[in-house]
Amino acid sequence: MKRLFSPWRSAYIASFKGAKRSAGCLFCRIAKQRKDAQNFILWRGVHCYLVMNLYPYNSGHLMVVPYKHTADMGSVSDETSVEIMHIASRAMKALEKVSEPQGFNFGANLGRAAGAGIDKHVHFHIVPRWSGDTNFMPVLADVKLISEDMRKVWKALRQQLIS
């Protein structure tokens, strides 16, 4: 069985202990700001938006985030659920054109125990994958190498999504 380990994510989650947090929910805050390029928001729908993950597992790691603030998947409307899948599908098509991944991980971590870094707001991860995309650096050196500039990836994906 192959496993995707990401010790740098544990460090990210641990960094919030005792840290002074900004008021309110990060996902709600960036949705309201309307500074899409600054916040790496790629696409806005009626019920959800698509944003790049600032702490990615791999280059091109995206998240589909409902505008509604909830930790309960059961309270997400049917319309929102349909839009989540629609945006995820569009995002994967854009990633295929821009980055040519060999596969994807797609899903949600619901709750802190499940690994959610932001556990009070439901969101879905889209992680592009390539054969051999993990190496010794994260495990032995606690270093994750992302070889692409996020701003360039944002521009390339944004272009694919709006065309």
What residue spans define the domains of the chain?
23-162
Residue 123 is a catalytic residue: yes
Architecture of domain 23-162: 2-Layer Sandwich (3.30)
| pLDDT tens per residue, range 31-82 | 999 999 999 999 999 999 999 998 888 889 999 999 999 999 999 999 999 9
Q: Which residue has the higher pLDDT, 93 or 149?
A: 93
Two tokens, residue 70 = 């909830």
- Cβ atoms 105, 125 nearer than 8 A: yes
Least confident of 11-15, 84-88, 101-105, 108-112: 11-15
CA distance 159 to 125: 20
Question: What's the mean pLDDT in 4-13?
Answer: 53
| pLDDT tens per residue, range 39-52 | 999 999 999 999 99
Catalytic-labelled residue, pool 47, 61, 123, 125: 123
If one counts every other C-beta atom within 10 angstroms of the C-beta of residue 94, the result is 23
Least confident of 15-19, 70-74, 84-88, 154-158: 15-19
C-alpha distances in angstroms, 10 versus 87, 91, 114, 148?
Answer: 28, 26, 12, 22
Question: What's the mean pLDDT in 18-27?
Answer: 73
